[in-house]
Amino acid sequence: MDWNSAFATQMNRVKASEIRERAKTIDLSAVIQLGGGLPDRAILPHPLVQSVCDTILKTDGEAALQYAPSEGYGPLREWLAAYVTKTEFPCSPDNILITNGSQQALDLIGRVFLDVGDQVVLDAPTFIGAIRAFDLTGADYADIGSDFNQPNEDSLKNSSLGYFQADFSNPGGTCYSEKERTLLSDLVNRYSLPIIEDACYTPLRYEGEPLPSIQAINVAQNGGIDNSLVFRTGTFSKTIAPSLRVGWIIGPKEAIRKITLVKQACDLSTGKLAQMIAHSIASQHFDSQCEKAVATYKPRCAAMLKALREHMPDGVSWTKPEGGFYIWLTLPDLIDSKDLANRSLTEAQVSIISGHAFFPGDGGAKYARLSFSLEPEEKGTEAIKRLSALIRSM
């Protein structure tokens, strides 16, 4: 059987990551990991999950093992709605769909809005998982342009969906200013363009003051969430545990209802036991989980920025994130980032990700992403020393 000829057309785009494939041939135990976006093992609350899980199974065991509603476990949707209402704007459980992590949120929204050949407007470099999800629908891409005062109007006019990250973007590590958020919300209204605001890293702020979400601005402009055009996606993967696979979409009720029916056709529902665990931990310990994560990652971010300042040769620049997991390197013109990522892994035993992955088309040759989430300060510093020496030698 020639499988490639049997697969649907857009499956041609679906390829294994070169980085991942290459990493499989390396003894990773010796490698300093600045590649992936994993949370640190130390912040995973396994004793808490254990005690919460025990209580759930003792007091509500049969219900915990049965099917969940497709829209999600009721008390978890209620908790999220109350949290948004308390901190931002009036929100009801009908505005919330629980998903398998925020990756599924991107996939579901993509499926609901994108026919083959439809265009997604985004702000490259952007999250590789979003590109991969939209690729499955056969979408095309356009860039909004870096100045929201003078955006690429055609890219907005001809798009069926937008995808943006306002806080601590992956891979850029940057935030939109309040002015940029307002401009973006204005543009969304002008073009009646539904957009995703991926708020995956929002709780992980290490410096500066929180800014209003694009969604909150859009909700205020349009007189309520049900008239808004913004779908905000979130997850407990960075604040409780990735293995629960509990994420969500917050958006206008009518569209959430349609996305829920698509979720039902995709996998019926997100696991109920996992949702009950997430609800129990979030409702009692969300703030302390966030504090623990911030206490872990903030010094790692600071140490890596310090090491970059001390060791990187001239001609290399980088972003100074106020939160999240990532620093984005800009390389001198003579260095190709695929070549650098390759040699960094094999010669310096440091995994980093070449910038290519974060652009839907060409681009990325002069960029690389460094993650500071997984390695303690001294290892992160050592990795930057080695990487700096390698760049110098190139």
Using the rule CB under 8 A, is 46 a contact of its own copies?
Answer: yes
Interface residue with its own copies among 30, 149, 192, 223 (CB under 8 A) is: 192
Using the rule CB under 8 A, is 394 a contact of its own copies?
Answer: no
Using the rule CB under 8 A, is 135 a contact of its own copies?
Answer: yes
Interface residue with its own copies among 194, 203, 321, 355 (CB under 8 A) is: 194
Our CB check for its own copies shows the closer of 67 and 333 to be 67
CB of 166 to its own copies, least distance (A): 21
Using the rule CB under 8 A, is 336 a contact of its own copies?
Answer: no
Using CB under 8 A, count the residues that bind its own copies. Answer: 79
How far is C-alpha 286 from the geometric centre of its chain's CA atoms? 19
Q: Do 10 and 138 meet the contact criterion of CB atoms below 8 Å apart?
A: yes
Interface residue with its own copies among 21, 26, 28, 115 (CB under 8 A) is: 115
Stretch that binds its own copies, among 38-46, 79-87, 279-287, 317-325 (CB under 8 A): 38-46
CB of 320 to its own copies, least distance (A): 27
End-to-end CA distance of the chain: 46
CB of 278 to its own copies, least distance (A): 11
Pull the structure tokens for residue 249. Answer: 């979409």
Using the rule CB under 8 A, is 9 a contact of its own copies?
Answer: yes
Using the rule CB under 8 A, is 203 a contact of its own copies?
Answer: no
Stretch that binds its own copies, among 83-91, 251-259, 292-300, 377-385 (CB under 8 A): 251-259
Using the rule CB under 8 A, is 266 a contact of its own copies?
Answer: yes
Q: Do 70 and 228 meet the contact criterion of CB atoms below 8 Å apart?
A: no
Using the rule CB under 8 A, is 104 a contact of its own copies?
Answer: yes
Q: Is 242 exposed, middle or buried (0-12, 13-18, 19+ CB in 10 A)?
A: middle
CB of 143 to its own copies, least distance (A): 21
Using the rule CB under 8 A, is 6 a contact of its own copies?
Answer: yes
Task: Encode burial over 120-136: b for 16+ CB neighbours within 10 A, e otherwise.
Answer: bbbbbbbbbbbbbbbbb
Question: Which residues, 6 or more positions from 18, have their beta carbon under 8 angstroms from its beta carbon?
Answer: 338
Site for its own copies in 147-176 (CB under 8 A): 160
Stretch that binds its own copies, among 48-56, 287-295, 302-310, 344-352 (CB under 8 A): 48-56
CB of 308 to its own copies, least distance (A): 27
Stretch that binds its own copies, among 36-44, 86-94, 199-207, 323-331 (CB under 8 A): 36-44
Interface residue with its own copies among 25, 30, 86, 254 (CB under 8 A) is: 254
Using the rule CB under 8 A, is 58 a contact of its own copies?
Answer: yes
Interface residue with its own copies among 29, 47, 149, 362 (CB under 8 A) is: 47
CB of 229 to its own copies, least distance (A): 6
Using the rule CB under 8 A, is 272 a contact of its own copies?
Answer: yes
Stretch that binds its own copies, among 119-127, 140-148, 261-269, 360-368 (CB under 8 A): 261-269
Q: Please state, in angstroms and rounded to a whole number, the distance separating the CA atoms of residues 330 and 353.
A: 12
Using the rule CB under 8 A, is 376 a contact of its own copies?
Answer: no
Interface residue with its own copies among 25, 86, 265, 334 (CB under 8 A) is: 265
Using the rule CB under 8 A, is 362 a contact of its own copies?
Answer: no
Using the rule CB under 8 A, is 210 a contact of its own copies?
Answer: no
Sole residue written with tokens 């050949």: 117
